[in-house]
Structures are given as C-alpha cells and as structure tokens.
Amino acid sequence: MKELICIVCPKGCRLKVDEENGFKVTGNSCPRGAEYGKNEISDPRRTVTSTVRISGSHLKRCPVRTSSPIPKNMMFELMDALNSVELHSPVKRGEVVIENVLGTGSDVIVTRDM
Amino acid sequence: MKYELIVIGGGPAGLAAAVSAYQNGLRRIAIIERDLQAGGILNQCIHNGFGLHRFHEELSGPEYAGRFIDMLPGTSIQLFTDTMGLEITKDKRVHCVSAKQGYQVYEAESIVLAMGCRERTRGAIGIPGDRPSGVFTAGAAQRYLNIEGYMVGRRVLILGSGDIGLIMARRMTLEGAKVLACVEVMPYSCGLSRNIAQCLNDFDIPLYLSHTVTDIRMKNGRLSGCTVSRVDEKRMPVPGTEMDFDCDTLLLSVGLIPENELTRSAGIEIDRRTNGPVVHENMETQMEGVFACGNVVHVHDLVDYVSAESERAGRAAAQYVLNGEASGECITLRNGACVSYTVPQLIRPDNVEKAAEVFFRVNRIFSASRVSVYSNDQLIAQYKREHMAPGEMERIQLPKALLDKADGEITVACEEA
Amino acid sequence: MYDVAIVGCGVIGAAAAYYLSMYDLKILVLEKENDIAMGATRANSAIIHAGYDPEPGTLMARLNVRGCEMAKDLCYKLSVPYRQCGSLVLAFSAAEDETVKMLYDRGVQNGVKGMMILTAEEVHEMEPQVSDQVTSALYAPSAGIVNPWEYALAFAEVAVLNGVELYRNSEVTDIRKTEKGFEINAGKNTFESRFVINSAGVDSAFVHEMVADRSFTVKPSKGSYYLMDKCECARANHVLFQCPSEKGKGVLVSPTVHGNLIVGPDAEPSKDMHRVNTTAASLSYVKSAAAKSVPGIDYRNAIRNFAGMRANTDQSDFVIGFAAPGFLDLAGIKSPGLTSAPAIGEEAVKLLKEAGLELVPKVSPVQTRKKLRFKELSEDEKCAAIAKNPLYGRVICRCETITEGEIVDAIRSPIPPVSVDGIKRRAGTGMGRCQGGFCGPRVLEILARELEIDPKQVLKDQAGSYILADETKTGGMRV
C-alpha cells in the first residue's frame, strides 16, 4: 500500500494505492484522483512550466508549458530542450513551440500572448 | 468624463469585476492598471493549477489571465495601463497618474477596489543578522526569473511554506539551482498539500516544520549563510538546535498582506483580522458605492474564488448604479472558536437572493470536523468537513431562510467532529 | 597637488567639503566605499539634537548648538527633508526629575533656546501615547529630525558641482609626510595634497596613526533599531528620549521625516567595527526599553530592523584638531555628530585658515540644491512636471510614490549611484512597507538601462552585493 497526496486539484486528497490489487485507489474524491493514484505508481507524469527566450517583445521571456503531463523523469531533459528555443513576437497563447517534445506525445505551448 | 464604474487594478479581480459590471448593464467602465499590461500577478505565476473550478481545466497563470483579458474587446471597458491610482476621495474621485495621460482626476458613480496584496518582508518578521544582497521575497524572485529571465542565486534556502515559496523551490530547481530546504515556523505547512508533493517531495527538498531562520550572514555584500533553529510552541527559537546552511539566497514566503493604501485614503474601515476593508454580502465596503474584491479584501488560496467574488462585486456595482443603494437590516459576522476571520463581515439579508457565501480561514489543522454557525448562542447550522488547514480557504453557504432567522449577529466556529 | 584631501565621505567629510568648496581650492575627497555616507551617517537616529546633553564648555556643546541652529536654513537651501518637531526627555522617577532639571540647566549654559520643563499632564497632552508612568519632561522645541544620508549627499553634491573631486572605491592605505604636504595612497592611485582632513569615522584612528602617534582609540559601539510602518507614526509627535544614565542615552522613539516611526538604539560595544548586524538579543532589548516610554508600539508593523556603528572613542569630547602640521582630525564624531556636522565643517575651514590655508572666495559658487519630489507637489505642479518629463508620470515605488523621473534624476545627479540602495538613499524607493519587493526589479532595470550595464552587474549596495546570479535559457550548465 502506498500513500500519496493527490496533485490533480488544490484539494490535496490523501490517496492510498494498493499495488497488489490492481492499483486500487482509496481516499480520492473524484475519478481523476483515482487515475492519478494509479499512474503515479506505474507511470508518474508532470506538467512542466517554464519560459523560453523571445525577441521583439518588451519582455525577454515568454512562458510556456507542456500541453499534457510528461514522464516525471524527463523534466530536466525537457528543461534542456527549452534552452535553445528562441521565439519571435508576436506569439499567441496555445501556439506550439516544440511539437511532440522528446517523443513524449506532448507539445510545448505558449501560455501568454506576446 | 464621469464613469459609471472605475475599477482600481487590472489583475484577475479587477478584470472579472469590470466584465461582470459590463454584463450587468454598465457601459462607462474604466480599469486603472499600474503595470504595462493587464493580468496582475498572474503574469508571473507561469505554473499550472489555475482554473479547475472556473474553466474545468488546468491553466497556467498567464493563460487564466488571458481568458479574462480576451473578454475586454467588444466591450466598452477602457483599460488604462501604466497608470497609478494615487488617491480616492470621499466623493468618489479617483486621482491617478501616468506617463501618457499625466495627472488625471476621474469622477465615478461607483468604484471597485482590486489592488491585490503584497508580500510580508524580512523586516515585518524581524529576522536579525547582516543585511546582504540575496534576501528576496519569493514573489520578487519569481518576477526576476519568469518575467526578466534571471536567477537570483544558486544555493537557495526558503523560509515559509506559502505556495509562492513552494512553487519557487520547484522553478529554481528546474532552472538549475540547488534548493537546500524549506523552513516553516508553524508545525504544519501553510501551502497547498499538492504543492508540498509536487514542488518539494518531487525534488527531495526537505521541509523543516517548527523551524525558523535565526541569523543571516554576509560575505562581500552577498548572503553567505543562514542559521536555522527549531522553535518551541510559542514559536521562540530553542537554543542548541541551530543548523547552518551554506546558501547564497534566502527566499521569503511568509505571508501576504492586502494592499489598502487607497482604501485608507478614502477613509474606508479596515478589518484588523484580514487587513482588508470590511465588506457586505455584495462586496460593498462601508462606503456606499465602493466595492472591493480579490486579495485586497482577504488573501485567497485560489484565483477561481477571486474571479467568482469579483463578479459578485461587479454585479453589485452595476445594481448600485442602475437601481440605487442596497438597504435593510445588517447582520454582523463574528469569528468563533478556531476561525481567524470571515468575509463578508456584514450581511444584509434583504439583499441576498438565495444564499450568502461566507469565506473564512481556520487557525489550526483540523481532521474530521464541523463548522458551526450560531446566532446569539443558538446553533442555527452545521457543516461537515473532512479536513481543514490554515493554508486553505473555507467557505459555507448561508441560505436566505437561515439569515432571516438570525438575530443581529452570526458566529462561525470550528470544532472537532 | 591638491590643497585639501578629505579622507572619508560621511556627513562630516561631506560638510567639510561643502564649506571648503565655497573657496578657490583644489579639493579631493576619498571614500573607500562605492557610495558616500555608508558608515555611521547611514544608520543612526536621524535626530537634530537641541544641545542640552553635552557638558558645557566642550566642543560638543558648542558645535551641537550651532549645528542645530544651522539645520533649518541649510536643509531648506539644500532641499533636505527636515522637520523641527521638538524633543522631550522623559523622566519616570524623582531621581530622573532631577536629571531633567540638570539637563535644563546645562541647556541654558549651552545656549539652547526655548526649553521648558513639563508636568506629566502637559506631556500627555502633547504625547497621548506616552506611558502614564512619566513624571516630568524636558521640552526642547529646537530639536528636529532630518534625513541623514540626504544631508550628506546634499553637501557632497554641491561640493562636486563646485569642482571638488570625489573618488569612490578609494580606501586610503597609506599617508606619507612630504616636503610640500602629504602623499596619499588610495585605491590604485597616489595623490598629493597640502592639507589632509581625517573624517574617516570608525577608521579615523587608523588614518590618524598613518601620520601621528596614537592619541585616541576608537571604541565602536553598535546600536540597533526598528523602523515602523507609517501606520505607527501617531505613537510619537516629538523625539521622545529617556533620561541619560551611566548606560547611555537610552532608547528613543521618534517620528522620521518619511513619516515612519523609529525605535532604538541600544549600545553594544563591538569587536568588529565594520559589521553592523542586528541580533535577537539587541532587538528584544530595544523593544522592552522603548516600552518604558511608549508601551503601545505594535511590532507586527515593523518594516525593517538595522544597526549602525557609532565612532565612539576613549575621549569624552569630539577629537577635532591638528594631529600633525597640516593634518586635521575630525575624528571620534559620535552623537551629536549628525547635528554638529555643518558646524564642524565651518570649524574645519576656520582651523585650516589659521594653519595657513589661503581662502579666496569663489565668485559664484553653487550653494543650493533643488530636488523634485513628486508626491510633495500640488496637483498643478504634478501636471506641469509630467508635461515637461513624462517619466514623472510613471510611479515605480508604490509605497512611497516615487516616479521613474525621480529615479533617473538620481542616476544623473552629481554623484551617480551605482546600486539599488544608492537610488534608495537619493530617491527614496524601497523605503516603504514592501521594502523594495515590488519596485526592486524595476529600479534594477532602470539602473541597468541608464548606466548601460548588464543587469547582472547591478549591485544592491556595497561592492560584491550582486542581485542577479545567472541569466536563464542561455544554454548554460547546471550548477
């Protein structure tokens, strides 16, 4: 039995995941929590937010995030991938910066119109 | 030019209030925003986790703000950016200044205060020691990192487990800094549990509860180390428990304080518990036609609640301008056992449609517990809770029928189940 | 060859430079820090003392009373924030009532004007928040409060405009007597000067001993303070002293020219004269001692704590005089040094003249300084200021309402600041309740832009106090 704090919403439910019983989750208050509990044991993932360089705007950094959670152990690799990106203003919220980043199936997207 | 509504502040609270006032019939609306763009502090909160209640999806701060900013075109709301509100007078004149427009005095029929909050500083909590560079509030470091693109240090200690501090622990770690520890004076964390999990635990950053920074040292003008001590029940450092941290940066995430300089300039009553104005059920302050919403009233945990509260304020401002003053008997809300404040502080039952929403915070951790509502020592309602913590805002709905039964005052208290 | 070299640019060195700059002289000022007023001038009680404290007949007594008289006109002329708010010395016992009478008599002998001894009722009428334990008080209406670093900056800026050469980051490491005067090593340079003024504060004994035998020893004494939010300002309308005792002058509670309340200092003999840290013990002492005067101060409204170092010596009086021919000490300038500063400056001119320095008045020296403080302007003046320079319309420091125009003025002033705190001392940014949390990043940006430097080079304060460590997204390495 593994105990976890659910991170899918601000409520922070205290989950119990039973690895021996098909990752049965208790303590959750919504289906998303059950899914998180299961995944957190078998394939933990995180949404990563960061910035990339941008030119032509009054600011020098543009905020970005992964469009969906990526494997937790790839967070730093993703950060390295963002190091070499430079955007040019104008960019729109939702615009894809890197498609299928590191083969994760997730895109890196812009989160602010700049 | 006389506006029907002037909103001070173009962050999430001000934007939601202005849009809601427009949707409820006002047309001459101005937002006064000190930054170059609207969005407020959300623009630097680039992490995700916003909007689950409001939009049923997880957005970053700029995305959440962007959705409200996108509502402005097509309305007649005027947004004055790079403009600072200097003073509000009793006759609802707003004095403001900007590089473009110069010094302006705008007249308003109603005003919404949405100036947000600021961070508590080293001085406010009185940490002794040297005065080096390298001590930052977490929000200032966040601005440098997320907006300007600079790291404020390489070896970081964080004092306070408020959400901004936790978020910065993760951000700085991802950007290559070593975050040595997070230190919290209370015996529990002040941030959301999920931020402890995903910002500290994910990166093996230790959290020291019941500890605080007791000395700050300097070398060549820059922070060179901090002493951390355990504290007793009275939050006094225990001699002999000192630990030294070899760090070049100390981030402070030790609380937020509503920014009410303008509120005070208008002579509006401030509640010492919240440090924000005393408000009614419709977010109207003690000054007729002046409303307040968001972190200027009380510090919220989730921006989703800020938006909801601000829409209430915007709607009420519209009703005030179009239909006149709200009236009726007034119930005073008091905080009972283990409750540190309530918002609103005043409810006019005649002005409540179905139910009044009351926000409050508890002053300690609760597991299975009850929120009890009394009027003159008579229990009139009770709500169950599985878990409550000071870091999280609680809310209850008081149905109109219940308010009609209340006799002049209502007390909200919490107790173990 | 300079006529006069001044070692140390605190308020004393600056005042000496100011008065000397009214004459046709070649003057050099050497400051070891990257800005002026970085020692005792920067961290003190900011009081203009009336002059009843010093022993009659001493230099201190004469210069204090004279300095107090000069303050009002000078601050007006130099656009230095000053307010003649008066002071009270509070007595809490029959013995202290006697002390109050003794101070009154001393004040009369020293030439202090307008003093009165007040009853407890009169004190409470003037100061409703003073402890009800008060038994009597000495009221001195000529006392006041001032912005100490602006006082020093004003002197030094005018001096620079009059041609005085100021070298910062120039610690004096050696002074040698030569035939014509002195040879001085400072920083990487060597200077020659006929006369030398030693106004090196806590380092003055060290500088003195470069040319003369030891005649005094600096006994540095650290004092810690709380600075309170403006919402606490109603606690005191006057400077509220306690009766001096063997332990020292006691803890004061006073308004500041910025509208805050200052509480302190204690007196702690210090081993390291350059370390001005506060400690839990010193701060807690200040709180409990101040409670004797004003019990209601709410320290949840503290916005800052800090400490300063007094340049006390083993001498009871100021050390003012020639240590060697041509080498003038203005040393051991402890309290009331800030008050006495302009009088000491005048005194220095007089002493140098007596020692043979020829004084030819300049034809039209700069004597005044103008400074635009946006928040103090009327509505019409604000409009006019913005029309002239739109940057006065952009508020950068929200707590203190300081505009970008004022920050740029500071950067272009005769002694340009090189740090965020340098801007703070000139323009007042970051002085308020958020302590630079909001405006710090913007001030940094403006400083980098105006000085055309990389933002990473911007300092918080002294050399080495960098603010930004690394730029992100440069493809760099992880630490």
Q: What is the mean pLDDT of chain B?
A: 95
Whose CA is closest to A37, among A16, A12, A9, A65? A16
* Chain B interface includes A9 (CB < 8 A): yes
Pairs of CB atoms within 8 A across A/B: 81
C78-107 confidence digits (pLDDT tens): 999 999 999 999 999 999 999 999 999 999
Distances (CA, A) of C257 to A83, B27, C67, C84, C350: 49, 44, 18, 10, 32
Pairs of CB atoms within 8 A across B/C: 164
What letter does residue B312 receive in the DSSP assignment? H
C222-260 confidence digits (pLDDT tens): 999 999 999 999 999 999 999 998 766 789 999 999 999
Q: Which of A38-42, B47-51, B225-229, C51-55 has the lowest mean pLDDT?
A: A38-42
Examine the predicted complex and report whether its ipTM is higher than 0.90.
Answer: yes
Residues of C in contact with A76 (CB under 8 A): 478
B369 and B302, same structural domain?
A: no
Residue C479: which pLDDT band, with cuts at 50, 70 and 90?
very low
C300-335 confidence digits (pLDDT tens): 999 999 999 999 999 999 999 999 999 999 999 999
CA-angle at C254, arms to C249 and C259, nearest 5°: 155
Q: Which of C444, C456, C471, C473 to mutate to test the interface with A (most CBs of A within 10 A)?
A: C473
The CA distance from A46 to B197, in Å, is: 12
Number of structural domains found in chain A: 2
The CA distance from B22 to C374, in Å, is: 35
The pLDDT value given to residue B280: 97
A82 and A33, same structural domain?
A: no
Residues of A in contact with C476 (CB under 8 A): 83
Chains linked to C by 3 or more Cβ pairs within 8 Å: A, B
B314 and B344, same structural domain?
A: no
Residues of C in contact with A85 (CB under 8 A): 473
The CA distance from C437 to C180, in Å, is: 53
The pLDDT value given to residue C477: 42
Please report the sign of the dihedral spanned by the C-alpha atoms of residue C397, residue C398, residue C400, residue C404: positive
* DSSP one-letter string for B75-104: B--EEE-SEEEEEE-TT-EEEEEETTTEEE
More confident residue, A38 or C4: C4
In B138-210, beta strands by DSSP E:
150-151, 155-159, 178-184, 207-209
Q: Are strands B59-60 and C182-186 parallel, antiparallel or unpaired?
A: unpaired
The pLDDT value given to residue C30: 98
C437-462 confidence digits (pLDDT tens): 889 999 999 999 999 999 999 999 99
Domain that holds residue B380: 328-417
Cα B255 to the center of its chain, rounded Å: 9
Residue A23: which pLDDT band, with cuts at 50, 70 and 90?
confident
- Residue listed under structure tokens 């004190």: C123
A29 and A81, same structural domain?
A: no
Last residue of a domain, one of B273, B291, B326: B326
Cβ atoms within 10 Å, residue C129 = 17
The pLDDT value given to residue C249: 76
B397 and B334, same structural domain?
A: yes
C258 as an active site residue: the answer is no
A40: tokens are 């957190």
Residue B199, domain CATH: 3.50.50.60
Please check whether residue C344 is in contact with residue C74, taking contact to mean a CB–CB distance below 8 angstroms.
Answer: no
B127 and B239, same structural domain?
A: yes
A106 and A54, same structural domain?
A: yes
Whose CA is closest to C117, among C141, C92, C100? C100
The CA distance from B262 to C434, in Å, is: 15
Whose CA is closest to C35, among C461, C467, C473, C475? C461
Say whether B175 and A61 touch across the interface (CB within 8 A): no
Q: Which of C49, C208, C258, C274 is catalytic?
A: C49
What mean pLDDT comes out for the span B104-129? 96
Tell me which chain A residue has its CA closest to the CA of residue B175. A79
Number of structural domains found in chain B: 3
**Residue B183 pLDDT > 70:** yes
- Residue listed under structure tokens 């990166």: B203
Please count the helices (runs of H) and the strands (runs of E) in chain B: 10, 30
Domain that holds residue A32: 2-43
* Chain C interface includes B203 (CB < 8 A): no
Say whether B194 and A65 touch across the interface (CB within 8 A): no
What letter does residue B202 receive in the DSSP assignment? G
Residue B403, domain CATH: 2.60.40
A88 and A54, same structural domain?
A: yes
- Residue listed under structure tokens 């009793």: B90
Distances (CA, A) of C440 to B25, B384, C393, C394: 41, 45, 18, 15
A88 and A72, same structural domain?
A: yes
What mean pLDDT comes out for the span C63-67? 98
Cα B97 to the center of its chain, rounded Å: 25
Chains linked to B by 3 or more Cβ pairs within 8 Å: A, C
Beta bridge partners of C34: none
The pLDDT value given to residue B417: 82
B391-400 confidence digits (pLDDT tens): 889 999 999 9
Which domains, from first to last, does chain C contain? 1-80+145-218+312-371 (3.50.50.60), 87-141+221-310 (3.30.9.10), 374-457 (1.10.10)
Tell me which chain A residue has its CA closest to the CA of residue B195. A7
Question: In one letter, which amino acid is C73?
Answer: D
The CA distance from B289 to B318, in Å, is: 10
Nearest to B34 among C390, C398, C456 (CB): C398
Q: What is the mean pLDDT of chain C?
A: 96
The pLDDT value given to residue B383: 95
Residue A77, domain CATH: 3.10.530.10
Task: Tell me the residues of chain B between 161 and 180 that have a Cβ less than 8 Å away from chain C.
Answer: 175-178
Please check whether residue B355 is in contact with residue B398, taking contact to mean a CB–CB distance below 8 angstroms.
Answer: yes
Please check whether residue B337 is in contact with residue B415, taking contact to mean a CB–CB distance below 8 angstroms.
Answer: yes
**Residue A11 pLDDT > 90:** no
SS3 B398: strand
Last residue of a domain, one of B265, B300, B326: B326
A65 and A19, same structural domain?
A: no
B126 and B103, same structural domain?
A: no
HEC profile of chain A: CEEEECCCCCCCCEEEEEHHHCCEEECCCCHHHHHHHHHHHHCCEECCEEEEEEECCCCCEEEEEECCCEEHHHHHHHHHHHHCCEEECCCCCCCEEECCHHHCCCCEEECCCC
B184 and B96, same structural domain?
A: no
Tell me which chain A residue has its CA closest to the CA of residue B65. A112
* Chain B interface includes A25 (CB < 8 A): no
Q: Which of A32, A49, A52, A58 to mutate to test the interface with B (most CBs of B within 10 A)?
A: A49
* Chain A interface includes C475 (CB < 8 A): yes
The pLDDT value given to residue A8: 84
CA distance A43 to chain C (A): 26
A20 and A59, same structural domain?
A: no
**Residue B116 pLDDT > 70:** yes
Last residue of a domain, one of B302, B326, B350: B326
What mean pLDDT comes out for the span B91-119? 96
A61 and A94, same structural domain?
A: yes
SS3 content of chain B, % helix, strand, coil (to 5): 25, 40, 35
What mean pLDDT comes out for the span B33-59? 95
A58 and A33, same structural domain?
A: no
A106 and A68, same structural domain?
A: yes
**Residue C146 pLDDT > 60:** yes
B210 and B284, same structural domain?
A: no
Distances (CA, A) of C210 to C10, C185, C328: 20, 11, 13
The CA distance from C258 to C146, in Å, is: 9
A103 and A68, same structural domain?
A: yes
The pLDDT value given to residue C233: 93
Nearest to C475 among A51, A76, A84 (CB): A84
Residue C478: which pLDDT band, with cuts at 50, 70 and 90?
very low
What mean pLDDT comes out for the span C420-428? 97
**Residue C373 pLDDT > 80:** yes
Say whether B62 and A6 touch across the interface (CB within 8 A): no
Distances (CA, A) of C408 to B267, C79, C391: 33, 18, 8
Please check whether residue B158 is in contact with residue B183, taking contact to mean a CB–CB distance below 8 angstroms.
Answer: yes
Contacts of C385 (CB under 8 A, 6+ apart): C372, C374, C377, C392, C405
Through-space distance between the first and last CA atoms of chain C, rounded to whole angstroms: 51
B345 and B304, same structural domain?
A: no
SS3 B303: helix
A101 and A58, same structural domain?
A: yes
